[in-house]
Amino acid sequence: MVRASLRFVRPARFEDVLDVHAGCTRVGRSSFDLSIIVLRDDEEIAVVDLMYVNVDTVTERSAPLTPGVAQRLRAEAAASTAGEHPHPAGKALPRTDLAGAVVSDEHRRL
């Protein structure tokens, strides 16, 4: 990771149930950007923007993304801009656990 920004919009409390939505927003030759939005009841709590750069471990310089990784990231970025993964503040996506399984409201509280 070469850049990270975090913008807190509203406070969250320990007992709050938060939804986290992440998506790829840009893919370059050797880098990509991710955007993460944290919501409480469809209200923005925080926004995180991250930039990752692929690095050659021998030369410690940037290196092109592998074709497979670049293709998957570009598909995710295209889906995000095409509205398949809308900004969650406009329409919430299904709530999922860390494995990606859809979780009902009864099972989300600790």
Residue 66, pLDDT above cutoff 70: yes
What's residue 80's pLDDT?
74
Is the CB of residue 102 less than 8 Å from the CB of residue 94?
A: yes
When pLDDT is averaged across residues 78-98 and rounded to a whole number, the result is 53
> Whole-prediction pTM value?
0.71
Percentage of the chain beyond pLDDT 90 is 64
Angle of CA points 68, 21, 63, to nearest 5°: 30
Q: Look up the domain containing 9 and give its range.
A: 3-90
Structure tokens, 10:
């509203």
Average pLDDT, the chain: 81
Residue 37, pLDDT above cutoff 70: yes
Radius of gyration of the chain (CA): 16
Provide the domain count of the chain.
1
Residue 97 falls inside a structural domain: no
Residue 87, pLDDT above cutoff 60: no
CATH for 40: 3.10.129.10
Residue 81 falls inside a structural domain: yes
